[in-house]
Structure 1
Amino acid sequence: MSEKLKVGIGGLGAIGLTLARAIADGTLPDLTLGAVSARDAEKAKGNLAAIGAEAPIVPLESLAETCDIVVECAPASVFETIARPAIETGRIFVPVSIGALLNHMDLVDRAKDTGARLVLPTGALIGLDAVRAAAEGEIESVTLETRKPPLGLAGAPYLVENDISVERLNEAKKVFEGNAREAAKGFPANVNVAAALSLAGVGPERTSVEIWADPDVTRNTHTIRVEADSARFTMTIENIPTEENPKTGKITALSVIATLRRLTAPLTAGT
C-alpha cells in the first residue's frame, strides 16, 4: 500500500491499549495510529509512552476527522458518540460494543449513503463464518449458552434490576434466558457475543440466549448450537479473562487485531 491507513481508537482500556501496541510495534505494518480518545488524557499519555506509541488524544467525536478506520472499544454508553461521526464521514467503523449497535441500526442504512463500512469483529465468540454460511440457506434455530465466573457478571443491569445475586454461589445458576436483544440490553458489558451472533445469523429476536453464573468455571465460556438445512453444529470456546477486566476475554483484543489485518491483507481465509 502506498500510504498507511490511520486508525483512531475510542477507549484505551485493555482492548484499546493492546490494539495501540500492535500498531506501534509493527504487528499491523499497513496501519498507523492516527489518534486515540480516553477519559483520562494524562493517564492515556503515560500508557502510550509505556508501549512506545505516539498519537494525538482527542475527543471521541473527533476521531473520524483524521482517521480512516475508527475502532470503538469504550463503554456502551458512549457508543453513538464514536459511531455516528465515523458513519457520517464515510469511515470504516469497527465496533467492539456490538450489543449497542442493535439500538442504532439506522447507522447501517446511513452507511449506504455515506460509503461507510461497519466491520464487526468476531470478538470472544467462535464460528461466525459457519453461521454466516448457514444463513445463506435456512436456519431453524440458533442458541447461545454463556457461562461466566460470578464475578464476571456482577453489576450487570439485568441482575441489579431483578435483584439477582451471584455472590457466594456453590453451583451454577441460570440468571437469564431470552433473546439476543434482551441479553445485550441487560448485560451490555458481558454478551456482545450475543449481538454478533444474531447479526451473523437470524437476527436478535430469533437468537436464543442463556446466561449462567458458574462458580466452577474459570474461563468465560460460550457455546453455540445451530440447526440449519445445510448443517447441524455445536461449538464451544473457553476464553481466558484479561487481568484488568474479568468481563473481557483476552481473545477479544486479538480478534480486533485480526479484523484490522484482514482489511489490508492480500489473502484472507474464512467466509
Structure 2
Amino acid sequence: MLPASLRVSVAGFGTIGGEVIGALARGIDGLTLAAVSARDKVRAKERLAELGLAIPVCELSELPSHADIIVECLPPAAFRSIAEPAIEAGRTLVVVSAAALLENEDLLARAQERRVPLHITSGAIAGLDGVRACLEGTIETVTIKTSKPPMAFMSLPNLAGRKAELEQLSQPICLFQGSAREGGTAFPTNVNVAVALGLAGIGVDRTVLEIWADPTILRNTHEIRVMSDAAEWSMRIENLPAPGNPRTSRMAALSTIALLRRLTASTSVGS
C-alpha cells in the first residue's frame, strides 16, 4: 500500500519543470511537492512564493534527501547529475530527457540492478500504449517522421553551416534518416519522442527516424507507423507550443503531469 502522500522533487525550473511545479502546487492526489532545483535560485524562490510555496531550492545532489519521486526536467547535458544520485538513493525517477539515456545506458542497468523504478514520459507523442500492446505479439517495423518549422533547428551546432539554407527554405527537406539511436545522438534536444518510442517498442536501433525541416508548417508534427502481426496502424500529432517557449511542445509538460497522476491513481486506463 502506498503512503498517504509521496514527496516529489522537481529537477529544473524551465518550461516543463515550471508547469509540473505549478500542477503540483495546485494539487495532485497522493503527491506533495517537497523541493526543487534551479540554476537561478533567487528567481526560483520568487516563483515559488508566487505559488504560495515555502519549500527548499536545492542543489541537484541534495534532491534525493527530499523526495520519494524525482522528476527530471533538465537539459540533456545535466541529466546524469540528477539521475545517478536518484538511482543510488533508490528514488523513483521520472525521465523527461529520454534521449539522454542513450549516453547513460549504464544507468538503465544500474536502476534495474537496484530495482529502482524509472518512468519515461511519452513527451509530445501519443500511441505508446498501442506500441506496448503490439510488442506482446511481433512488431515488424516502427517508423517516426518528425517535422518542425526550420526555426526549430537554427540553434543546433551540427547545423550551423546550414543556417542560411534553413532561413531561405521554401520546400520541406530531410535533415536526417536513420535509427532512433543515431538521431538521438545527433539531435538530442529534438528527438526525445523517437527515443521514447524506441524504448517502448522494438528498441532504438530498429526504430526508424526521419527528421524534416518544413517551412509549410507552424507546429511540431510527429507521424508514427507501426506494422505488426496484431495491427497495422499510424497516427499523426500536431503540437501546440508551450506558452512563452515556441521550441517546446506543451504536451511534453502535460504528459509528465499525467504520468505523475497515474503513479498514485487507483484506476489506470490503457496498457
Q: Distance in 2 between matches of 1:69 and 1:165?
A: 44
Counterpart residue number, 1:200? 200
Counterpart residue number, 1:211? 211
Letter in 2 for 1:225: R
| SS of 1:248 mapped into structure 2 | strand
**Does the aligned pair in 1 maintain the 2:226–2:234 contact within 8 Å?**
yes
| SS of 1:203 mapped into structure 2 | coil
**Does the aligned pair in 2 maintain the 1:70–1:92 contact within 8 Å?**
yes
**Does the aligned pair in 1 maintain the 2:102–2:185 contact within 8 Å?**
no
**Does the aligned pair in 2 maintain the 1:151–1:246 contact within 8 Å?**
no
Counterpart residue number, 1:37? 37
Q: Distance in 2 between matches of 1:161 and 1:4?
A: 51
| SS of 2:246 mapped into structure 1 | coil
Counterpart residue number, 1:20? 21
Q: Distance in 2 between matches of 1:4 and 1:178?
A: 44
**Does the aligned pair in 2 maintain the 1:35–1:56 contact within 8 Å?**
yes
Deviation track 1:86-137 (CA, whole Å, cap 9, x = no partner) reads: 1111111001000001221222221233231101111101100011111122
Deviation track 1:130-152 (CA, whole Å, cap 9, x = no partner) reads: 11111122111111000111112
Relative to 1, partners in 2 of residues 1:173 and 1:208: Cα closer, same or farther, differing over 3 Å? same
Following superposition, the deviation at residue 163 of structure 1 comes to 7.2
**C-alpha root-mean-square deviation of aligned residues, in Å?**
1.6
Relative to 1, partners in 2 of residues 1:139 and 1:162: Cα closer, same or farther, differing over 3 Å? farther
1:118 aligns to 2:118 (yes or no): yes
Counterpart residue number, 1:7? 8
Counterpart residue number, 1:232? 232
Q: Distance in 2 between matches of 1:152 and 1:260?
A: 28
**Does the aligned pair in 1 maintain the 2:142–2:208 contact within 8 Å?**
yes
**Does the aligned pair in 2 maintain the 1:142–1:227 contact within 8 Å?**
yes
Q: Distance in 2 between matches of 1:196 and 1:93?
A: 15
**Does the aligned pair in 2 maintain the 1:60–1:81 contact within 8 Å?**
yes
| Count of residues paired in the alignment | 270
Letter in 1 for 2:69: I
Relative to 1, partners in 2 of residues 1:172 and 1:247: Cα closer, same or farther, differing over 3 Å? same
| SS of 2:113 mapped into structure 1 | helix
Letter in 1 for 2:206: R
Q: Distance in 2 between matches of 1:42 and 1:11?
A: 14
1:136 aligns to 2:126 (yes or no): no
Q: Flag structure 2 segments of 5+ consecutive residues without an equivalent.
A: none
Relative to 1, partners in 2 of residues 1:164 and 1:144: Cα closer, same or farther, differing over 3 Å? farther
Counterpart residue number, 1:168? 168
Q: How high is the TM-score relative to the length of structure 1? A: 0.95
Report sequence identity in percent. Answer: 48
1:223 aligns to 2:226 (yes or no): no
Q: Distance in 1 between matches of 2:35 and 2:121?
A: 20
Q: Distance in 2 between matches of 1:257 and 1:2?
A: 20
Deviating above 3 A after TM superposition, structure 1's stretches of 4 or more consecutive aligned residues are 160-165
